[in-house]
Amino acid sequence: MNPVRLLPRMPLHVFLVVIAFLWFIPTLGLLITSFRTPGDIVSSGWWTTIPGLFQPGQFALDNYLRVLNQEGLGVAFRNSLFISVPATLISVIVASLASYAFACMGFPGRRLLLVLVVALMVVPLQMTFIPVLPIYRKLRLAGTYPGIWLAHTAYGLPLTTFLMYSFMSGIPKDLFDSASIDGAGPLKTFFRIVLPISVPALASVFIFQFLWIWNDMLVALVYVGATPRVAPITVAVANLVTNRGQNWELLTAAAFLTMILPLVVFFLLQRYFVRGILAGAVKG
């Protein structure tokens, strides 16, 4: 690439690098502090350890071992996995099928139903707790994994359906006409044509939904509670803040544990995520 053509964009690149570096500094401080001893945290700042970052004995895993084993974050991490992965998959599957029906199939009241589903995004979550909780208690869903899966799916469907519909509505109609001429039914068209085309959008929706569920505490606290047997890691960290407010080394280790899996998911799917955000739809 011609270096002369890059010169006008150089200030933008420098600005983006500076912003990324400023955003990275708190994360770096959190990571370094999570490996330090209480005495080192009180006596010096985390930045003082950077010159000797790779010296033997500079850091230890004691804080992580303690929060995982003694403070119960290992069980909470597993609970978050059991909550986030199934709830995200259910949301993406249902949203994909609903979006396919709204975008590619004709039936009476389709537009009105789509508007009603999308309008649910403006309904505050807090308004639903009082009427839904008695139903959960009667059905014995409160404090169970299926109950929290249904709750997260219901709360996330308006946004996920809207995002998937925005993508699928741009798929050329000629593809569906060709599939119909070849004898493909709606389900075969969905699995053979729509799903392969929608991989970038599916990855984007998966990331959005997974991050929301993983970082959620309000819905989990209401429908699951603070019982260690099923409570997610966000509830466990909140309890740790209450009980161990002065133990910075434990809080930073716990906070970084909550960040690990979302970062891994994002970096694994970022290629599809960027494609889904930039493309938005497949144009004919």
Q: Is 128 domain-assigned?
A: yes
Which residues constitute the domain of residue 191?
Answer: 61-279
Task: Quickly list DSSP for 168-231.
Answer: HTTS-HHHHHHHHHTT--HHHHIIIIIHHHTHHHHHHHHHHHHHHHHH--HHHHHHT-S-TTT-
Instruction: Answer with the one of 18, 34, 60 that is the final residue of a domain.
Output: 60
Query: Does residue 180 share a domain with residue 118?
Result: yes
Query: Is the pTM above the cut of 0.75?
Result: yes
Residue 284: inside a domain, yes or no?
no
Pair 74, 54 in one domain: no
Q: Give the CATH number of the domain where residue 130 resides.
A: 1.10.3720.10
The answer to the question of residue 72 being in a domain is yes
Last residue of some domain: 60, 78, 95? 60
| Residue 111 and residue 205 in one domain | yes
Domain count, the chain: 2
Residues 139 and 13 in one domain: no
Same domain, 5 and 79: no
Both structure tokens of 129: 């707790």
Q: What is the pLDDT along the chain (284 residues), one digit of tens a residue?
A: 555 566 677 788 788 889 988 888 888 888 888 888 777 777 777 777 776 665 555 677 888 888 888 778 888 999 999 999 999 999 999 999 999 888 887 778 888 998 898 898 888 888 888 899 899 989 988 888 999 999 999 999 999 999 888 888 888 787 877 877 877 787 888 888 888 888 888 888 998 899 999 999 889 888 987 777 888 998 888 887 766 556 777 888 888 888 888 888 878 877 776 666 555 444 44
Indicate whether 31 and 118 sit together in one domain: no
List, in order, residues 6 or more apart from 76 with CB less than 8 Å away: 228, 231, 232, 233, 235, 236, 237
DSSP string, 42-100: HHS-GGGGSTTTTSTTS--SHHHHHHHHTSSHHHHHHHHHHHHHHHHHHHHHHHHHHHH
∠ CA 37-27-72, nearest 5°, is: 55
* Model pLDDT, residue 209: 92
State how far the Cα of 13 lies from the Cα of 97, in Å rounded to an integer.
Answer: 40
- Between CA 137 and CA 197 the distance in angstroms is 41
Nearest residue to 171 via CA among 197, 153, 205, 189: 197
State both tokens at 133. 């909780």
The verdict on 133 and 236 lying in the same domain is yes
CA 102 from chain centre, in angstroms, equals: 25
pLDDT tens per residue across span 186-213? 788 888 888 888 888 888 899 889 999 9
Same domain assignment for residues 55 and 73: no
Say what the pLDDT of residue 88 is.
94
Residue 3 counted as domain residue: yes
User: Domain check: are 164 and 270 in the same one?
Assistant: yes
| pLDDT computed for residue 187 by the predictor | 83
Residue 276 is which amino acid? G
CA distances from 95 to 6, 111, 119, 184 (A): 41, 16, 15, 22
Among 21, 39, 60, residue at a domain's last position: 60
- Do residues 167 and 189 both lie within one domain? yes
The rounded distance, in Å, linking the Cα atoms of 162 and 280 is 12
Residue 203 located in a structural domain: yes
Same structural domain for residues 145 and 22?
Answer: no
Q: Please, are residues 150 and 220 in contact by the beta-carbon 8 Å criterion?
A: no
Residue range 217-240, pLDDT digits in tens = 889 888 987 777 888 998 888 887
Q: Which of 264, 275, 259, 247 is nearest to 36 (CA)?
A: 247
Q: Are 123 and 185 in contact (CB under 8 A)?
A: no
Answer yes or no: is 153 within a domain. yes
Are 159 and 271 members of one domain? yes
